[in-house]
Structure 1
Amino acid sequence: MLILFNKPYGVLCQFTDRSTPPRPTLASFGLPPLVYPAGRLDFDSEGLLLLTDDGELAHRLTDPGHKQPKTYRVQVEGSPSPAQLAALRDGIALKDGLTRPALARQIDPPALWPRQPPIRERRHIPTAWLELTIREGRNRQIRRMTAAVGLPTLRLVRVAVGPWQLGSLEPGAWAEVRTS
């Protein structure tokens, strides 16, 4: 079984939380029993999360050797220059090493649901939207990459993993899809 889930902002990619006070988790969304996340999204990221009850499929989805492309819509602070986009395409030197080259382009603002809480807005600082596709999944990688080129991430929404797309799923909604 493979579940496509639109993870809302401020939800943990796990079913329990031992923090005080507890934070929202996947347990709040009526997902089928015995599924678990194949990969993860940070608490402050949104969008497509894949869940499965199939260990072999989970391995194919998360193993770096399979290099599943992951595509994001990223709202950044600032206006990207051709040099900043080229740097993202070439790979960024981070503390944990050089990233693989990304597909990176500026896009028009996408039609997305409003985020709660809204992102911060500064009257005199422009924002822009990027589409980034990466084939690795380091901790907070997109945020670190955009910050390294001088474009801090304000909002991060994953829209695709491999062939699976978020489509029209609303935040908190999920759908089961065939895998063969």
Structure 2
Amino acid sequence: MPDKHFIIYKPYGFLSQFLSNDSKQQKKKFLGELHNFPEGIMAIGRLDEKSEGLLLLTTNGKISDYINSQKVDKQYYALVDGAITNEAIAQLKQGVEIGFNGKKYKTKPCDVYVLNEAPNLPTRSKKIRDARHGPTTWISVTLNEGKFRQVRKMTSAVGFPTLRLVRVRVGNIHINNMQVGDVKPVEVFF
């Protein structure tokens, strides 16, 4: 049977996995609720429950391993709390120290810049605080590693916690005009 591949716009509040037998997760939302996926499907990388955006799915473990290896860039748009400073952007670009598996970890250098205007993204299902609570800034972060909650930990490390995180690109695959919950079968990723 040929491998199957999909790109999806993972909604906020969904886990990047399929139904679990774990009784603690019975009230959680899983990717299988979005589409009737084939047997053996797996997410390539993950987005945490509070993150949203582009997620690749495949039945081919070798493709998953390749994309998860540090060879493929992943781009995120992050709405951060506050008017981010040039100094904080410079720190993010150089790499910052975050906690990972109970140890300190310095992130690799990455591409970070301020977006001049808010990106055209679908409205999130859960309201984000508004400007009455102070300024916010949209930034773009492109990295080729993927530690647990890395972008969130990075922005917090420089004093600007992430309020909304959307993955918009993996390699040459862009989210483009996809809407929350969209599922698109594709022939191949790269």
Tell me if both proteins adopt one fold, taking TM over 0.5 as the criterion. Answer: yes
Per-residue deviation, 1:121:
2.9
Tell me if 1:110 matches 2:116: no
Tell me if 1:26 matches 2:34: no
Per-residue deviation, 1:166:
1.0
CA distance in 2, matches of 1:20, 1:162: 31
Residue correspondences, number: 178
User: Identity across aligned pairs (percent)?
Assistant: 37
Per-residue deviation, 1:161:
0.7
Match of 1:123, SS? helix
Q: 1:5 aligns with which of 3, 8, 25?
A: 8
Tell me if 1:54 matches 2:63: no
Match of 2:15, SS? coil
Tell me which residue corresponds to 1:133.
142
The unaligned stretches of length 5 or more in structure 1 are none
Q: Which moved further from structure 2: 127-136 or 29-38?
A: 29-38
TM-score (norm 2): 0.89
The residue identity in structure 1 corresponding to 2:56 is L
Q: 2:94 aligns with which of 71, 85, 90?
A: 90
Q: Residues 36 and 124 from structure 1, CA distance in 2 versus in 1: closer, same or farther, beyond 3 angstroms?
A: closer
CA distance in 1, matches of 2:85, 2:26: 42
| 8 Å Cα contact 2:73-2:142 kept in structure 1 | yes
CA RMSD of aligned residues (A): 1.4
Tell me which residue corresponds to 1:68.
72
TM-score (norm 1): 0.93
Runs of 4+ that moved beyond 3 A: none
Per-residue deviation, 1:3:
0.8
Q: 1:171 aligns with which of 173, 176, 180?
A: 180
